[in-house]
A = this chain, B = another copy of it.
Amino acid sequence: MENLENKKNIAQKWFKELRDSICDGFLSIENDASDNYQHWDNLNSTFERKDWKRANTQHDGGGGTISLMQGKVFEKVGVNISTVFGEFSDEFKESIPGAEQDPRFWASGISVVAHPRSPFVPISHMNTLLIVTTKQWFGGGGDLTPIFPIDRDTEDFHLAFKSTCDKYNTDYYPQYKEWCDKYFFLPHRNEMRGVGGIFFDSLNSGDWNNDFTYTQDVGKTFLDVYSRIIRRNMNKQWAIKDQEAQSIKRGRYVEFNLIHDRGTKFGLMTGGNTEAILMSLPPSASWK
């Protein structure tokens, strides 16, 4: 049990470190914005932090920290960390591995969604988490949603995650990529949300340290490859018609997150923090 507490602490500490690395990385990008962005020079390119607490009862507790920047390159980017614990309701416990008999859970993780101002910079999302019931596992993933897909960006994004996955298990990448493609799909539009990435869940290989290092690597890989993709596209000039296409794509992003996203649904239905959950929504969107 002491060993498990130790693992929880290590994981929780990592999500905080990764949050700091991502915020620092994004801030350095923000500082490299060209004159294209001078219209937004009055904006404070800083992450505003806001702590929230879960309603604490005898059995439930925890909370998290929202880091939100509304800047120049990043029109809106949220980096959330949270650590929560409690008991699943009867409604949910049947569908959660290891919670059927004992409904108690503990979960800690990080979630990032970036909505760049330029229509030529893809939207991107990454999250990783550790869940503990009577079982325990890692989950997460990262995916890219360009408005105007560019082969080089798509290939780099996929290659980065493939390289990371292959260091651990060559079965991971094909499986996690397929999972991602299946997950980020809008059936009512018959279209993909974006160009994919990876998505994994229930990762417990039996070697905790290896699984944890892999999960850490997914976070680092995201920061590295997404930063490169942002930097190479962010200073291109764009036009009103490009912004209109971006706005429609952002509408699709809203549709996915509110209709299909499991984390969003689960969070809202279990009384999670609405502000943190809906941080993923774009600054604006439109529908024809």
Contacts and interface: CB of A to CB of B under 8 A. Distances in A.
Interface of A: 76, 187-189, 247, 251, 254-255, 258-259, 268, 274, 277-278, 281-288
A113 to B, nearest CB: 11
Contact of A284 (B188, B247, B258, B259): B247
A288 B278 CA distance: 10
B282 A188 contact: no
Contacts of A284: 247, 284-287
Given A254-B258, A258-B255, A259-B268, A189 B274 contact: yes
Top-4 shortest CB links A-B:
A258-B258, A281-B287, A284-B286, A188-B268
Contact of A286 (B255, B258, B283, B287): B283
Nearest to A277: B188
Number of copies of this chain that the complex holds: 2
Given A254-B254, A255-B258, 15 more contacts: A76-B287, A187-B268, A188-B268, A188-B274, A188-B277, A188-B278, A251-B281, A254-B258, A258-B258, A258-B259, A259-B268, A278-B287, A281-B287, A283-B286, A284-B285
Contacts of A255: 258, 278
Nearest to A257: B258
Q: Which of A258, A274, A287 has the most CB of B within 10 A?
A: A287
12 contacts: A188-B268, A247-B284, A251-B281, A254-B254, A254-B258, A255-B258, A255-B278, A258-B258, A258-B259, A259-B268, A283-B288, A285-B285
Contacts of A268: 187-188, 259
Contacts of A259: 258-259, 268
Contacts of A188: 268, 274, 277-278
Contacts of A281: 251, 287
A286 B76 CA distance: 11
Nearest to A279: B287
A277 B254 CA distance: 15
A285 to B, nearest CB: 6
A76 B268 CA distance: 29
A287 B99 CA distance: 35
A257 to B, nearest CB: 9
A264 B283 CA distance: 23
A282 B274 contact: no
Contacts of A283: 286-288
A85 to B, nearest CB: 21
A277 to B, nearest CB: 8
